Structure 1
Amino acid sequence: MKFERLGDKINQIRGISYKPNDISAIPMPDYVPILKANNIQEEGIDKSDLIYIHKSKVKPEQFIKKGDLLLAASSGSKEIVGKNIYFESDFEGSFGAFCKLVRPKKNINHRYLSTFFKSVPYKRHIRKLLSGALINNLKNEYIDSLLIPDISDSDQLHIANLLSKAENLIAQRKESIRLLDEFLKSTFLEMFGDPLRNEKGWKVEHLGNVTVMKAGQFVAASDIQSEFNEKLYTCYGGNGLRGYVKTYTHEGNFVLIGRQGALCGNVKIAKGQFHVTEHAVVCSPKMQFETYWLYYLLDIINLNKYASGAAQPGLAVGRLEQIEIIYPPLKFQTQFAQIVEKTEALKTQYQQSLQELENLYGSLSQKAFRGELVAQDPNDEPASVMLERIKEEKVQIKAEEKGGKSKQYLIKEPSEKIAAERSVPYDKNTK
């Protein structure tokens, strides 16, 4: 299998640099949206924080076209660098300086290229390049130096179709999981009403009267591992999962609140034995409550709005303690928790199915970009026919052996075509 440098098949285009007075936070006439690195999500474009710039500031090649890929090229987080979005149609906008556009040349199928940028080999390449890097920056040579199989247009399309089907199955499973989460939120609102308006007149308590909130323990970044094994414990920080460590600080079922970082105020449920860093708060019971009920209550309230600080947002425990929350009778909390448990059991099945699909996609993508997934030659015998033929031959051999017939092997001379392929001398006059 022949491989070629990706740089021979793409052009990379830099994003727009702009000054604060060049942009608008709202749409305006002759202004176009600018995508930034944090707008690039696995599920697609996050349009919640768009900015706009006058189209005269955008060069013609910087407008996003059908078949383009937009990459997060620079970020404070290594998790964001390398993420990308494929555009199936023209996008009436452009992108910022922390992103780059990968535009396919005519010698590569754009859908095939998009599957490469979702593949395990690509992601592994990016992680390797960024490990130990002081600056999380995706240089042009990092992309250009990637190797990709040099295969025919039909094989490129075959791989793109195959991997797209797997991607669609993964997306469907993720959507099923999302709908279960939405069902539980709507069930909470139906049972307890809007917790901010408290239209059902539930008893109100300060959060600090219901739960004891205490920050976790420091753990050095060098002690946090990215891969799980049976000797390690899950470690949670201010923005959720940090990785895995050798010690645990808590055991049981607890609600965690991220108290520092861009995602401070995020809420998680931690189960079993786990470690919590000083950037997250553990909620232990002071008054009796159901863990699932408290989790959905705090998630719906959106604690992030109580954060302070611009450069490094944070939530003080003292501020959290003063938040007023509804406190319905325990029997209603328990009814809700029972619904959650049944739904979570179904969700676990979906998540296992999702993991299997993602593993399958990873295996397929690795084979595809090692050149092992190419369309079958239509002149070749289909695998199903070959297997059936072999099965019939085995049955025939067994029948002959059972009947006591001696086996005869007929050796045929190679045809001209086969002889050429096997470098066997061929004489058409040979009998």
Structure 2
Amino acid sequence: MKILSDTIKNIALEIRTGKTPPTSNHEYFGEEINWYTPSDLDKGKFLGKSRRGITGKAISDKKAIVFKPNTVLIGAIGDIGKLGVTSDFSSSNQQITGIYPDPKKVDSQFLYYWLKAHKQSLLDKSKSAIVPILNNKDLGQVKILFPEYISDQLLIANLLSKAENLIAQRNDSIRLLDEFLKSTFLEVFGDPEKNPKNLPFTTLEKLCSVIVDCPHSTPVKSKEATNYPCIRTSELTNGYISWDSMQYLDEDEYKKRTQRLIPEAGDIVYGREGTYGEAIRIPKTHKFSLGQRTMLFRPDYKKTNSIFLWAMVRSEFVYRQAKKKNSGSTVGHVNVKDIKQFRIYNPPIELQTQFAQIVEKTEVLKTQYQQSLQELENLYGSLSQRAFRGELIKY
């Protein structure tokens, strides 16, 4: 397979940046034409309905531009490299640039996957500023490698599309497991707002043996990964620890941050500032400490189960209580004294245990799905690299 090299400018028939019609003129906004913003990108290869639309009048008055079908849209201001392919005539705001490739040279789906795999090339071309900007001239200078024949490009695009679909299916499976646990909570205990099972209530403080706030200082992080992770609100994701952004401490810093209490497996870490309301259970794997904006609940195991308390704290019922007590203006913030007084179900411990057993079995399955997802993502990365080196198609 012969691989050609050229610039995006030379393989494109059009490189155009969108714009925003005057918002004061309501005649320019409607449902006639999809008008994409960066939040509409990275939702899948082909773009669907935009969150906001414009009218034909905005186009005819030249207050917006039109992209042809099969134009590859790229986020070019702020979050550089977000992608999508147009399915119909459409438009966008000024944060998005569209590339309409010459169909005799490069297929739009191939271009989409090439840009997805080479996001760093776009970032390298963007101007250094408070808000990164990739202008049309610099975008056009990005060099692209592509098979000589469109048929080979389509083979590569179809292969990567299949791998991408498998990843999406696995993500859906994980999402459905999370939804299953939420519905199981309601099935076992009922909606706390209505309390159909007439369960007793208490306060969070009365179900915990200890509640501590985080140290009010910025931790001094280690330059390398250690056995002392420091959990911040950014690591609290969908009820579980996100390790992607984890920061680590050395042993001395860990000891300083755990003087009041050493976190134990089963303790619950709760985000009380910024993205407040999320919580995780501490596993047995490491020696954890609290980062800023978090606090720790240690269940009183004579009264409650760690898994039940974790699910309860993450429920919509408790989140609404936190929202009412939010004292922040720009950054959300819930006071420790208010958190201690959250109203919490206090069901029989046997019922809590029944729920916990379901959660544990579901989490085993979720772990398997996550491992499978990681393998699929690794496979996709390997296929992508080999594809753009011309190693997948042999004659």
Same fold (TM over 0.5): yes
> How far off is 1:324 after superposition?
2.0
**Structure 1 letter corresponding to 2:288:** F
1:357 CA displacement: 0.8
Distance 1:345 1:169, change over 3 A: same
Alignment CA distance shift 1:46-1:156 (3 Å): closer
- The one-letter code sitting in structure 2 at the alignment partner of 1:284 is R
Match of 1:181 among 166, 172, 178: 178
Q: 1:3 aligns with which of 5, 11, 16?
A: 5
Partners of 2:146 and 2:388 within 8 A in 1: no
CA distance in 1 between partners of 2:167 and 2:115 (Å): 16
Match of 1:143 in 2: 139
**One-letter amino acid matched to 1:290:** N
Q: Distance in 1 between matches of 2:327 and 2:56?
A: 35
Q: Which residue of 2 aligns with 1:291?
A: 306
Counting aligned pairs with the same residue, the percent is 32
Distance (whole Å) between structure 2 residues aligned to residue 47 and residue 144 of structure 1: 26
Change in 2 beyond 3 A, CA 1:177/1:52: same
Which residues of 2 match residues 174-323 of structure 1 at below 5 A?
Answer: 174-211=171-208, 212=211, 214-215=213-214, 218-219=217-218, 223=221, 229=225, 233=229, 235-238=231-234, 240=236, 241=242, 242-247=245-250, 248=254, 250-261=263-274, 263-271=275-283, 272=285, 273-285=287-299, 288-301=303-316, 303=319, 305-306=323-324, 307-309=326-328, 311-323=330-342
CA shift at 1:35, angstroms? 3.7
> Residues 238 and 264 of structure 1 are in contact (CA less than 8 Å); yes or no, is this contact kept in structure 2?
no
1:118-148: CA deviations, max 9, x gaps?
A: 32xx234456678986434344455334322
Q: How many residues align?
A: 362
Going from structure 1 to structure 2, the CA distance change for 1:279 and 1:6 (only over 3 Å counts) comes to farther
Aligned to 1:62: 65
Amino acid at match of 2:102: K
- Residues 122, 142 of structure 2: 8 Å contact kept: no
Deviates more, 1:266-275 or 1:123-132: 123-132
Cα shift readout 1:352-385 (whole Å, capped 9, x = no counterpart): 1110110011111112223333x332xxxxxxxx
- Which secondary structure does the structure 2 equivalent of 1:150 belong to? strand
8 Å CA contact retained: 1:23, 1:53: no
Tell me the distance in 2 between the aligned counterparts of 1:5 and 1:332: 64
In 1, Cα distance between equivalents of 2:270 and 2:356: 19
What is the CA distance between 1:200 and its match in structure 2? Answer: 1.6
Q: Report the equivalent of 1:399.
A: none
Distance in structure 2 (CA, Å) of the matches to 1:66 and 1:171:
24
- AA of the residue aligned to 2:308: W
TM-score, length-scaled by structure 1:
0.70
CA distance 1:254–1:115, change in 2 (3 Å): farther
C-alpha deviation, 1:298, in angstroms: 3.1
Deviation at 1:348, TM superposition (A): 0.8
Q: Bigger radius of gyration, 1 or 2?
A: 1
* CA distance in structure 2 between the partners assigned to 1:112 and 1:317 by the alignment: 53
Is the contact between residue 82 and residue 138 of structure 1 (CA under 8 Å) also seen in structure 2? no
Aligned equivalent of 1:419: none
Alpha-carbon spacing, 1:230–1:162, altered in 2? closer, same or farther (3 Å): farther
- Bigger shift: 292-301 or 162-171? 292-301
- How far off its partner does 1:202 sit? 1.3
Aligned to 1:333: 352
Mapped contact 2:21–2:64 kept (Cα < 8 A)? no
**CA displacement at 1:95 relative to structure 2:** 3.0
Q: 1:386-405 residue pairs with structure 2 within 5 A?
A: none
| C-alpha contact (below 8 Å) 1:65/1:90 kept by paired residues | yes
What is residue 15 of structure 1 aligned with on the other side? 18
C-alpha deviation, 1:195, in angstroms: 2.2
2: distance between equivalents of 1:210 and 1:156? Answer: 60
Question: How many Å separate the matches in 1 of 2:343 and 2:375?
Answer: 43
- 2:360 paired with 1:362: no
Cα contact 2:73–2:97 (8 A) shared by 1: yes
Unaligned residue ranges in structure 1 (runs of 5+) = 378-431
Relative to structure 1, the CA distance from residue 208 to residue 72 in structure 2 (aligned partners, 3 Å threshold; closer, same or farther) is: farther
Shift of 1:329: 1.9
Q: Deviations over 1:46-84 (max 9, x none)?
A: 999944555533559734553233333334xxxx54232
SS at the partner of 2:196? coil
| Structure 2 residues without counterparts, runs of 5 or longer | 237-241, 258-262
Distance 1:142 1:181, change over 3 A: farther
**Deviation string for 1:96-135 (max 9, x for gaps)?**
333333433333101111212332xx23445667898643
Partner residue, 1:111: 109
CA 199–163 in structure 1, closer or farther in 2 if over 3 Å, else same: same
Query: How far off is 1:184 after superposition?
Result: 1.5
| Contact 1:264–1:314 (CA under 8 A) maintained in structure 2 | yes
The 2-side partners of 1:321 and 1:45 are apart by 47
Structure 1 residues 351 and 234: alpha-carbon distance in aligned structure 2, compared to 1, 3 A threshold: farther
